[in-house]
Amino acid sequence: MAWMGSGHWSRDAMTSQLGVEANTSYSAIDAAWPGTLPKLNKSCVDLAVRTALACGANVQSFSAFDRKHYFYADLPAGYQITQKYAPLSLGGEVRISGSFGEKTIRLQQIQLEQENLKAIDLNRAGSALMELVSYPDMRSPEEAAAYVKTLQTLLRTVGSSDANMEQGSFRCDVNVSVNRPGDPFGTRCEIKNLNSVGFLITALNAEIYRHIELLDQGNQVIQETRGFDENRMITYKLRSKEDAPDYRYMPDSNLPPLILTQAYLQSIKAFLPEHPDHLRKRLVEQYGFNQQDVNVLLSIDAGRDVPFDGETGQSAVSFFEETVKGRNPKTVFNWIVNELVAQLVLHKRTFGQSPLSQAQLGDLIDLVETRKISIFINVEDCIKGTAAKDILRHILRTGAIEDIATLQANLGLMTIDVADVRMFCETAIGDFPDVAERVRQGNKKVLMKLVGAAMKLSNGRADANLVKTCLEDILIHRTI
Amino acid sequence: MWIKNAQDPGYDATVVNLLLENGAQILGKTNCDEFGMGSLSIHSFFKPVINPFTPANVPPAKKSEPRSAGGSSGGSAAIATHKLCFAALATDTGGSTRLPAAYCGVAGLKPSYGLISRWGVIAFADSLDTVGIIASKVENIRRVYVILIPVESDVVAQYDERDPTSVPVDIRNAAHDACEHFPVLEDINDLGKLRIGIPQEYFPAELGDTVLKPFRRVLQALEQRGASLIPVSLPSTKYALSAYYVLASAEASSNMARYDGVRYGMQYRPPYDADLSKTSDVYAHTRSFYFGKEVKKRILLGTYALTAESVHNVSVMEHIPNQPIFRAFDNYYLKAQELRKLIRQDFNNVFRIPNVLQSSNTSKTTTTQGVDILLHPTTIRTAPLLSEISDKGLDTYVQDVLTVPASLAGIPAISIPSIADDGWPVGTSIVGQWGSDEKVLKVAELMEKLMHETDSKTLT
């Protein structure tokens, strides 16, 4: 199930943000205050329909909402609004690949649900949730993990969720059954609420071996619902089939049925972001990337945070594609992955939280490529663009929105061509040959006289350290 | 008892906001059956509402014995009786506005479902709940009504986006247009164009002469002024009461689930040897202690109506569609839903105006065959003595038999008073097609005048 980024079930409810202090941002609706009524957020429907279409599912022109009743601390109204009898979409599929080869996982249905509270934090209540139910098509924990990862990428690509498991935006309930080759499926057990791919694999393995051990000892597997203990790495019984609550499903009388016209579906289709499978193929063909690069680019953080209600927004891919226009793909890729993302990770920020604009990055890359900016120690460092990196870090730290030229001036980083600096240095050497000779013989103290002369020639535009280094390179290291 | 200690929710109901914005003053809150569940206003933490009506020409000894004000909005009807207020708001789920209005001798309107916002109205059964208006005169009801539901189609009708069941403006306008076929009634002495249907199923065995006599006088007066009285049949009416109690209780059991004592209202501290291993165990103490008897009864009834009878047939993984299982849900809840459709269809069959909510009917042109309004007694009797009320058996539920069909169909109904031979009031209900509330009010105003004449004739 995925928590949809457009956020709220109800338009009137307050915007819910992760990381907000418990019980500080809830509305009367979320607390199920008597007299309040639910409201379906249209953009939630848009995003769920997008997801369904991206999976090739059959979006239903008529779907309706039902109440699922049970008493639990995370459920202020005593029921959850879901789509039991007439879900949003039926069918569809997700293609996965991995060491097991390629495989298609069929979907049963996609349904809209109202999110319950996370523990007893009302901030989370009333958010919109989308539940994707698959058929039992996965044969190993690896396939299940690949399915989850593929779904995450898909949800991020179509912009329906950040699919972040750690923040609880994406959770899985998995069913496990074990059988001998040739036998029909064994009795299944459901493990609820797994919240990371790592735990998913561990929990599945633990459960599979529990079943195998039971069967090897001649015992039966009892159908039940289980939880996963992250510390002990084992699953434990939550309730047996006999204890299964009677949810007393009932149509919700407040939310009218959801009628989706063909025209509406067409309008969603028209703005459907590129399917990840297609996107991968295109990135390889268009930019000459290998699969590794594509994986890196697609996995960058939460790709799309979705505050934009379905705007394709700034995913790493779209950020890349905007920046790469007229530039070298590999260079832009390196800047995004090795500089931008590395810095963001260092500051524990997501890609979506990056203040760096595509225009800023483009200008930075251009300055370095045309060798107009650097506090270079030598020519090699000049190409690495140390000064440009300083500006990038400055932007990330301060969120500066000025263009690069302004920032450069503010930071005292001069725009000067490397060749110009060298020319000033050589002119200074020519003007003071005796001083140059003394430097060559090891008298570094008089070097500053040459530095001063070169600085004067540049009208103060060149960085003093840079000039000094350049002179040293020419006279002492003789590297230039 | 839940409300006793209720915190301020921090917002007003849409109806309250609209009234305040238009200069109304809110005088106070009135007593009623707990959560609107009841027909006699006897299920209240604050004691029963006593009917304040004082019959003329009745020996003083008889007056002293207290009678029920009807329910559930008995308090609203009671304060309207002695004109302590210009008008009172009420709720009507199955008759809770019309019934007390009839017993207290005042007028009570249940508008079409979806016209008045339910935002801020504590839900009993969402698909049936409406905000009602009670007043001593129909004119007062109209004055409140035009604030809550502006009638001119060019005025932005009071669609409330906070209520997902609030009907959108285009459908309101469609209903307004459909009503143009309603006969123009200007002269009280010329009702020649008015076609009044008398539904034959609304005269059950329980209905006594006390009610029939004044009802006949009303019919006579109408006929004398040229109105056509047409016997009609609404054959599914006999199922209405059962369907209503299944649906209303099912929805109530769901809506009452939020009263767990955690976020609002009262909380009962369980004894310290209590088993609190499950969340529901903790809630059970509060819910058992603070819910009234009638509410608990309906929660149990509604819970059963939604239950899968045989738990073993239910899959733990509840996502497998189309499982053939037999459940109370199928036997009661779904059956009741089907009956509700039949009842709705019954009304559509007899009205001349099409129901704009039913897309298949929008093309249907106005027929000359149908009736403009239906007329029937609101109650089966006059207000019962509080001392004779027994909460055993079905007696209290039968009170609603004549009012629940309009609730199930979501159509407008107004009860206007007349006086029975024993001096106590009874009500006559005027029922119209969905969205014809304005016309129903118009007929009510005319009939109010007629009844003044007939009542004063019989009393002199």
A253 and B262 within 8 Å at the Cβ level: the answer is: no
A109 and B314 within 8 Å at the Cβ level: the answer is: no
Q: Which one, of B104, B45, B109, lies nearest residue B71 by Cα?
A: B104
Closest in B11, B317, B333 to A28, CB measured: B11
Name the maximum alpha-carbon separation found in chain A: 99
In this prediction, residue A245 has a pLDDT band, given cuts at 50, 70 and 90, of: confident
Contact (Cβ atoms closer than 8 angstroms) between residue B96 and residue B22: no
Identify which of A338-342, B33-37, B58-62, B320-324 has the greatest average pLDDT.
Answer: B33-37
The reported pLDDT for the residue numbered A3 is 45
B257 and A33 within 8 Å at the Cβ level: the answer is: no
B308 and A246 within 8 Å at the Cβ level: the answer is: yes
Which residue matches tokens 């309207």? B80
Average pLDDT, chain B: 88
Compute the count of residue pairs across chains A and B with CB atoms less than 8 Å apart.
116
Closest in A33, A37, A253 to B264, CB measured: A33
For A368-396, what is each residue's pLDDT tens digit?
A: 776 555 433 334 444 334 667 778 888 88
Q: Quick one: tokens of A254? A: 């407040």
* pLDDT for residue A309 is more than 50: no
SS3 B235: coil
Alpha carbon distances (Å) from B9 to A16, A28, B399: 20, 7, 34
Minimum CA–CA partner of B125 in chain A: A253
* pLDDT for residue B117 is more than 60: yes
Catalytic residue among B41, B68, B96, B166: B96
Which of A192-206, B155-169, B295-309 has the weakest average pLDDT? B155-169
* pLDDT for residue A353 is more than 70: yes
The reported pLDDT for the residue numbered B191 is 93
Within 8 A by CB and 6+ apart from A443, the residues are: none
Higher pLDDT, A73 or B405: B405
| A418-431 helix and A433-440 helix, angle to the nearest 10 degrees | 100
Higher pLDDT, B1 or B295: B295
Q: Which one, of B173, B183, B121, lies nearest residue B151 by Cα?
A: B173
Q: Quick one: tokens of A474? A: 């020419």
CB neighbourhood size of A237 (10 A): 12
A250-251 and A58-59 as β-strands: parallel, antiparallel, unpaired? Answer: unpaired
Listed as own residue / partner, the contacts of B438-443 with beta carbons closer than 8 Å and 24 or more positions apart are B438/B151, B438/B176, B438/B179, B439/B179, B439/B182, B439/B372, B439/B373, B440/B109, B440/B373, B440/B412, B440/B413, B440/B414, B441/B109, B441/B138, B441/B141, B441/B142, B441/B145, B441/B414, B442/B185, B443/B185, B443/B194, B443/B372, B443/B373
- What's the average model confidence in pLDDT over B264-276? 86
Minimum CA–CA partner of B126 in chain A: A253
Virtual CA dihedral for A142, A145, A151, A152, nearest 10 degrees? -140
The reported pLDDT for the residue numbered B417 is 95
B316 and A38 within 8 Å at the Cβ level: the answer is: no
Contact (Cβ atoms closer than 8 angstroms) between residue A184 and residue A128: no
Closest in A33, A37, A85 to B162, CB measured: A37
- What's the average model confidence in pLDDT over B73-92? 95
Higher pLDDT, A329 or A415: A329
The reported pLDDT for the residue numbered A302 is 47
Identify which of A1-15, A403-417, A460-474, B202-216 has the greatest average pLDDT.
Answer: B202-216
The reported pLDDT for the residue numbered A278 is 86
User: Nearest CA of chain A to the CA of B104: how many Å?
Assistant: 28
User: Nearest CA of chain A to the CA of B450: how many Å?
Assistant: 39
Average pLDDT, chain A: 81
Which residue matches tokens 């590129």? A274
* pLDDT for residue A303 is more than 50: no
- The interface predicted TM-score (ipTM) is 0.89
A40 and B122 within 8 Å at the Cβ level: the answer is: no
φ, ψ for residue A183 (rounded to 5)? -80, 160
- What's the average model confidence in pLDDT over B165-171? 91
The reported pLDDT for the residue numbered B198 is 98
A78 and B258 within 8 Å at the Cβ level: the answer is: yes
Find the radius of gyration of the CA atoms of chain A: 30
Q: Quick one: tokens of A369? A: 């490529």
The reported pLDDT for the residue numbered A263 is 95
For A258-286, what is each residue's pLDDT tens digit?
A: 999 999 999 999 888 788 888 888 989 99
CA angle A41, A47, A49 (to 5 degrees): 105
User: Nearest CA of chain B to the CA of A30: how many Å?
Assistant: 11
Minimum CA–CA partner of A247 in chain B: B307
**In chain B, which residues have their Cβ closer than 8 Å to the Cβ of A84?**
318
* pLDDT for residue A15 is more than 60: no
Which residues partner with B40 through β-bridges?
Answer: none
For B274-284, what is each residue's pLDDT tens digit?
A: 888 888 888 99
In this prediction, residue A125 has a pLDDT band, given cuts at 50, 70 and 90, of: very low
CB neighbourhood size of A186 (10 A): 17
Q: How far apart are alpha carbons B315 and A234 in whole angstroms?
A: 24
**In chain B, which residues have their Cβ closer than 8 Å to the Cβ of A259?**
none
B164 and A39 within 8 Å at the Cβ level: the answer is: yes
User: Nearest CA of chain A to the CA of B248: how many Å?
Assistant: 11
* pLDDT for residue A301 is more than 60: no
Which of A23-32, B188-197, B210-219, B366-375 has the weakest average pLDDT? A23-32
Virtual CA dihedral for A391, A395, A398, A399, nearest 10 degrees? 160
Listed as own residue / partner, the contacts of A374-382 with beta carbons closer than 8 Å and 24 or more positions apart are A374/A418, A374/A466, A375/A413, A375/A463, A375/A465, A375/A466, A376/A418, A376/A466, A376/A469, A377/A469, A378/A469, A378/A473, A378/A479, A379/A418, A379/A479, A379/A480, A382/A418
In this prediction, residue A8 has a pLDDT band, given cuts at 50, 70 and 90, of: very low
- What's the average model confidence in pLDDT over B436-459? 84
The reported pLDDT for the residue numbered B13 is 92
Ordered structural domains, chain B, with CATH = 3-233+362-459 (3.90.1300.10), 242-335 (no CATH)
CB neighbourhood size of B70 (10 A): 34
- What's the average model confidence in pLDDT over A351-355? 83
Closest in A38, A244, A256 to B311, CB measured: A244
Find the radius of gyration of the CA atoms of chain B: 22
The reported pLDDT for the residue numbered A474 is 86
Measured in Å, how far apart are chain A's first and last C-alpha atoms? 61
**In chain B, which residues have their Cβ closer than 8 Å to the Cβ of A77?**
257-258
User: Nearest CA of chain A to the CA of B284: how many Å?
Assistant: 10
User: Nearest CA of chain B to the CA of A257: how many Å?
Assistant: 11
Residue B96 among the catalytic residues: yes
Residue B415 among the catalytic residues: no
B258 and A11 within 8 Å at the Cβ level: the answer is: no
* pLDDT for residue B134 is more than 80: yes
Within 8 A by CB and 6+ apart from B317, the residues are: A175, A188, A190
SS3 for chain A is CEEEEEEECCCCCCCCCCCCCCCCCCCCCCCCCCCCCCCCCHHHHHHHHHHHHHCCCEECCEECCEEEECCCCCCCCCEEEECCCCCCEECCEEEEEECCEEEEEEEEEEEEEECCCECCEHHHCCEEEEEEEECCCCCCHHHHHHHHHHHHHHHHHHCCCCCCCCCCCECEEEEECCCCCCCCCCCCEEEEEECCHHHHHHHHHHHHHHHHHHHHCCCCCCCEEEEEECCCCEEEEEEEHHHCCCCCCEECCCCCCEECCHHHHHHHHHCCCCCHHHHHHHHHHHHCCCHHHHHHHHHCCCCCCCCCCCCCCCCHHHHHHHHHCCCCHHHHHHHHHHHHHHHHHHCCCCHHHCCCCHHHHHHHHHHHHCCCCCCCCCHHHHHHCHHHHHHHHHHHHHCCCCCHHHHHHHHCCCCCCHHHHHHHHHHHHHHCHHHHHHHHCCCHHHHHHHHHHHHHHCCCCCCHHHHHHHHHHHHHHCCC
What one-letter code names the amino acid at B137? Answer: K
The reported pLDDT for the residue numbered B250 is 97
Interface-testing mutation among B11, B89, B117, B258, with chain A (most A C-beta atoms within 10 A): B258
* pLDDT for residue A50 is more than 80: yes
B165 and A254 within 8 Å at the Cβ level: the answer is: yes
Alpha helix segments (H runs only) across B105-186: 138-148, 169-178
The reported pLDDT for the residue numbered A115 is 75
φ, ψ for residue B362 (rounded to 5)? -65, -30
Contact (Cβ atoms closer than 8 angstroms) between residue A27 and residue A33: no
The reported pLDDT for the residue numbered A1 is 42
Higher pLDDT, B394 or B328: B328
In this prediction, residue A480 has a pLDDT band, given cuts at 50, 70 and 90, of: low
Q: Quick one: tokens of A195? A: 């919240």
- What's the average model confidence in pLDDT over B358-383? 79
* pLDDT for residue A411 is more than 90: no
φ, ψ for residue B105 (rounded to 5)? 75, 30
Identify which of A180-194, A408-422, B52-66, B156-170 has the greatest average pLDDT.
Answer: A180-194
B126 and A253 within 8 Å at the Cβ level: the answer is: yes
Closest in A35, A247, A255 to B122, CB measured: A35
Higher pLDDT, A408 or B110: B110
